[in-house]
Chains A and B, each alone.
Chain A
Amino acid sequence: GAGVSQSPRYKVTKRGQDVALRCDPISGHVSLYWYRQALGQGPEFLTYFNYEAQQDKSGLPNDRFSAERPEGSISTLTIQRTEQRDSAMYRCASSLAGTGGTNYGYTFGSGTRLTVV
Chain B
Amino acid sequence: GESVGLHLPTLSVQEGDNSIINCAYSNSASDYFIWYKQESGKGPQFIIDIRSNMDKRQGQRVTVLLNKTVKHLSLQIAATQPGDSAVYFCAENYSGGTSYGKLTFGQGTILTVHP
Binding site for B on A (CB under 8 A): 4, 31, 33, 40-45, 48, 50, 55-56, 58-59, 91, 93, 95, 98-103, 106-111
Give the A-B contact count at a CB cut-off of 8 A: 79
A91/B43 contact (C-beta < 8 A), A45-B104, A99-B100 known = yes
Residues of B close to A33: CB separation below 8 A? 101-103
Q: Taking the nearest CB of chain B, how far is it from the CB of A76, in angstroms?
A: 18
Whether B41 pairs with A56 at a CB distance below 8 angstroms is no
Report the separation of the CA atoms of residues A4 and B31 in the bound assembly, to the nearest whole angstrom.
26
5 residue pairs, one from A and one from B, having the closest CB atoms: A42-B105, A108-B43, A101-B95, A98-B101, A56-B99
Contact for A99 among B4, B32, B107, CB less than 8 A: B32
Q: Taking the nearest CB of chain B, how far is it from the CB of A44, in angstroms?
A: 7
Whether B41 pairs with A110 at a CB distance below 8 angstroms is yes
Known contacts A42-B89, A42-B105, A99-B93; 5 further A-B pairs (Cβ under 8 A): A4-B43, A43-B103, A48-B101, A103-B34, A103-B49
Residues of B close to A56: CB separation below 8 A? 98-99, 101-102
Whether B99 pairs with A58 at a CB distance below 8 angstroms is yes
Residues of A close to B51: CB separation below 8 A? 101
A40/B107 contact (C-beta < 8 A), A99-B101, A103-B46 known = yes
Residues of B close to A48: CB separation below 8 A? 99, 101-102
Residue of A nearest to B42 (CB): A110
Report the separation of the CA atoms of residues A103 and B45 in the bound assembly, to the nearest whole angstrom.
12
Report the separation of the CA atoms of residues A63 and B41 in the bound assembly, to the nearest whole angstrom.
29
Residues of A close to B108: CB separation below 8 A? 40-42
Q: Which of A42, A45, A59, A99 has the most CB of B within 10 A?
A: A42
